[in-house]
Structure 1
Amino acid sequence: MTDEIDRLFEAARAVRANAHAPYSKFHVGAAILTDAGTIHAGCNVEIASYPEGWCAETTALGKMVASGERTVRAVLVIGDGPGLTTPCGGCRQRLAEFAGRDVPVHIADPGGVRASFTVGDLLPHGFVLAD
């Protein structure tokens, strides 16, 4: 598991440098590990019509889906600041679309992982596809 977390951390850290955050100056990176072992990374993108930008998790999920994959095995989100940079409500729901409730979501800052949750911890009563 540590190797997976290290790979996710490096991917999220690297892509975070590409964030487009001219308004908030808050750069976020996210990396998703799929069942196939592929890592898809994304950063946040802000635009002048502020609520219309998108989060790092959304970018990473979009890359995953565009590549033909659909199952998330682990997630790592990296941000900066005194608090934890957890996924927003919309991204929690997006993650739940492609990840089981037990999928780990690691929250990091540039120094390393600060906390770990599951998708179920972050979104206990989210909408999910019925079996």
Structure 2
Amino acid sequence: MKKLILTLSLLLFVFSIFSQSSKIVFEDSEHDFGEIQEKGGKVSYKFLFRNDGDEPLLILSVKPSCGCTTPNWSKNPIKPGEEGFIIAEYNPRGRPGVFRKSLNVVTNQSFPDKPNNKFIYIKGNVLR
């Protein structure tokens, strides 16, 4: 009987942990700069997101796919229902042609069936 109660208590505890989580939802997961001039300098886009979960959301890191992209993001925890941002800055210098770059957004999300990261993308065509 003690084992049954202990097992049920443990299952209830685990279920309660996974039922409370943060959930990041982006307004846009990809931005197209279109045609940009190489000599025009850096371009940037501000991705907005909302925490649709019931726990604070924390962006742990944003990892760009190359050194040509620099991220900046909301450093404070995002409360449920509130919004945050990630700015992706792209440097076109010395990179003519079509590009599509990813940013791996790592959060504190805790879903047993989903990883704790999302990808957002920037793309465009650099003209000389």
| TM-score, structure 1 as length reference | 0.29
- Give the number of the structure whose residues are more often helix, by fraction: 1
Larger Rg: 2
